[in-house]
A and B are shown apart, each in its own frame.
Chain A
Amino acid sequence: MTPDSSSRAAESSEDEKTAGRHEVFLYVLRRFGVYLFTLWAAITVAFFIFRLVPGDPMNILLGNLARAEGRQRDAAAEEAIIARYRHIFGMDEPLPLQYINYLRKAVLSGLDLGPSFVEYPAQTKDLVFRRMPWTIGIFTTSVLLAWIVGTGLGALIGWLQRSRLSKLAVVISTLLQITPVYLVALGLIIYVGYTWRILPAGGPYARHLQPEWSWEFISSLLTHAILPMLSNIIVIGAGFTLGMRALMISVLGEDYLTFARAKGLSPFTVLKDYAFRNALIPQVTALAIIVGATLNGTFIIEVLFQLPGLGTLFVQAMGLRDFNTMQAVVLFSIFAVLTLTLIVDLALPLLDPRIRRTA
């Protein structure tokens, strides 16, 4: 090879690299565009579902209050009060104007989603931010742990598909996977929490403690988090195990795997570099798909374990018919699901060179 041709080769590979980078950039840009559009559309859908469902939230709220106070207001006074509150909450304007105001405030005034009905004048945004760490903490930690455990176990079970132990593992994970997460949570609360009293099963931390940076508080926080997370991990982890097993088995049937074995590579290399790597990509995609359903499950888990997260906030707001707060929680969970999905999608090209090239 002459120096000239080798430099040309280097140049063309350099070109390919920039072209590749360009394509990655386009992929990221397009994915981000879809993200913004979806976010806007989801907010719009949520906004209109809220307002088009029959029943005026203000009427329901004040009717409930009146009933709770147990006295009969005269109709004219009640009308006046309702009109006054509708004005305060900007609900006396025509719907399109309300919508534009809502979007404008949400985007331009730093996520201003309006005040809470019940805790007026507290901003719903602040209520949501105060509860968010619980939900996001439980959710992300348990999903990541479930993914790691499930992917590892699934790969192992798929690789040893003919052993008896692996067949038993398939049966067990099928059973666990079809069990609803709240039933697992209930089982853990009842048996581990109350009957055997191994771990605490209610509240965010021991009742006599105050949030502070002390070992006692942090360890109490962690032990209280074990069961809620375990409920998620058991069910989602079983799903990931089965998914990874199926992927492994189908990869194991591929020709390139037979070839790799025929080359005399060690079983471990074949498992690690050929089978596992190729099965991994759809497994990451699966992560993006379950995000929404898992958030639903986490909301229920919070309520069952009495954790002060978004799910609990929502249920409380619903009991009080605090529609602004409910709406803020819905919008926030849509935002969280979309953003997490976006992160997974953007991480995919790092794992899979094929997507990088064809995107």
Chain B
Amino acid sequence: MRNPSIIIGLIMLALIVVVALAGPALVSQWLFPGERPGMRGSYRPYQLDSAEHPIGTDGDGRDGLMVFVSSIWPSLQIGVIAGATSTILGVVIGFLAGYARGRLDTLSRILIDMVLVIPTLPLLLMLAAYIERWDLYKLSLILGIFGWSFVARVIRPQVQSLRERSYVDLAVLSGENPLEIIFLELLPPLLPYIGYVFSLSIVGSMLAEAGLQIIGLGAGGLPTLGFMIAKGFRESVIAIGLIGQMLLPAGALIYVFLALNLINTGLDEVFNPRLKTTIEGGE
């Protein structure tokens, strides 16, 4: 895989992971030795940008930069856990649906199409109303459970087309059982595509999470980028002049989406060579 988009995307992702993991420790060590910048009430709230507080302090009297760097990791975690959940569910269902024939096939297609069109946001919000105490894993799992239909929808036709190849017929003739066929013959060639879908699912989950926060009904209190944006909007930090406290988390979200999008474009070119030849080869 010497695809430049994939490499750039991976480097961008690696960078933000480093910032997310090492950031909180670095910021508190370098900028605030001996202080607790992430504690409520450590400083006077809503201080403007200064040498001491590069993007000011937030409404709870915490350093804005500290809040920002510690928000990245939970956001990424939610994206990955939820993305993995929906990818695993969707791949299993997509494989079953793609491998089945006849009536079962029709039924599974209708089921997938059905779940796909149900607008998920109201359902998610509805669940949010019931759940009294949110934690990161609960939220991620629920987001993941709502995202599988898209994965199943795109995996199913891939499995169907692979199943008709002659090497699969050969495997059937040589006496492999359905499980062997699925895991040894059908799954390996689809791995890059599953990676592509996984990456799309991460984007979808992070998008949904931040959306829930911004509408004001998400897992309140979970320190994510979406929560920081939502809080900033509600406290109108822009009007106060604390632009960084909105732009940085928004920028970080877009940055992650861009990195994943680059990886996706690359994987798409690897998986779908025709795209590449028509783009680069011309007429």
Contact = CB atoms under 8 A, between A and B. Distances in A.
Interface of A: 34, 37-38, 41-42, 45-46, 49-50, 53-55, 60, 161-162, 174-175, 178-180, 182-183, 186-187, 190, 194-195, 246, 249-250, 252-253, 258, 291-292, 295-297, 299-300, 303-304, 311, 314-315, 318, 321, 323, 326-327, 329-330, 333-334, 337-338, 341
Interface string B255-283: 00110010000000000001101110011
B43 to A, nearest CB: 24
Given A291-B117, A329-B122, A318 B217 contact: yes
7 contacts: A45-B118, A178-B203, A180-B210, A186-B250, A337-B119, A338-B117, A341-B117
Interface in B117-143: 117-123, 125-130, 132
B169 interface: no
B39 interface: no
Contacts of B233: 186, 304
Nearest to A302: B215
B8 interface: no
Interface in B98-123: 110, 113-114, 116-123
Interface string B201-233: 001000100110011110000000000010001
Given A182-B210, A183-B254, A55 B238 contact: no
A296 B120 contact: yes
A250 B274 contact: yes
A296 B229 contact: no
Contacts of A252: 278, 283
B67 to A, nearest CB: 18
B238 A182 contact: no
Interface in B227-249: 229, 233, 238-239, 246
A46 B128 CA distance: 14
Contacts of B118: 42, 45-46, 292, 334, 337
Given A186-B233, A250-B275, A341-B117, A34 B110 contact: yes
Contacts of A246: 275
B211 to A, nearest CB: 5
Which 3 A-B pairs rank lowest in CB-CB distance, beginning with the nearest? A296-B121, A178-B257, A253-B278
A132 to B, nearest CB: 14
Interface string B29-70: 000000000000000000000000000000000000000000
B122 A42 contact: no
A174 B117 contact: no
B193 to A, nearest CB: 17
**B interface secondary structure, majority:** helix
B118 to A, nearest CB: 5
Contacts of A314: 122, 125
Specify which of A162, A174, A330 lies most central, judged by the most chain B CB atoms within 10 Å of its CB. Answer: A330
Contacts of B203: 178
B253 interface: yes
Contacts of A303: 215-216
A171 B169 CA distance: 44
Contacts of B207: 180
Contact of A186 (B114, B126, B246): B246
A183 B233 CA distance: 11
A296 B279 contact: no
B114 A41 contact: yes
A311 B121 CA distance: 10
A49 B123 contact: yes
A172 B104 CA distance: 44
A326 B129 contact: yes
B186 to A, nearest CB: 25
B215 A292 contact: no
Contacts of A45: 118
Given A182-B214, A258-B283, A315-B216, 5 more contacts: A49-B123, A174-B258, A292-B118, A299-B122, A329-B122
Specify which of A42, A182, A250 lies most central, judged by the most chain B CB atoms within 10 Å of its CB. Answer: A182
Contacts of A299: 121-122, 215
A194 B214 contact: no
Contacts of B114: 37-38, 41-42
A323 B207 CA distance: 26
A161 B278 CA distance: 11
A38 B217 CA distance: 28
Given A38-B110, A50-B126, A182 B274 contact: no
B217 A296 contact: no
B141 to A, nearest CB: 14
A258 B279 CA distance: 16
Contacts of B250: 183, 186-187
Nearest to A249: B278
Contact of B119 (A194, A292, A321, A326): A292
Contacts of A329: 122
A190 B122 contact: no
A41 B116 CA distance: 12
A330 B211 contact: no
Contacts of B246: 186, 190
A53 B254 contact: no
Nearest to A250: B278
Contacts of B274: 250, 253
Contacts of A162: 282
A107 B238 CA distance: 49
A258 B122 CA distance: 49
A334 B215 contact: no
Contact of B117 (A38, A55, A179): A38
A321 B274 CA distance: 52
Given A54-B130, A337-B118, A179 B123 contact: no
Contacts of A46: 118, 123
Contacts of B217: 315, 318
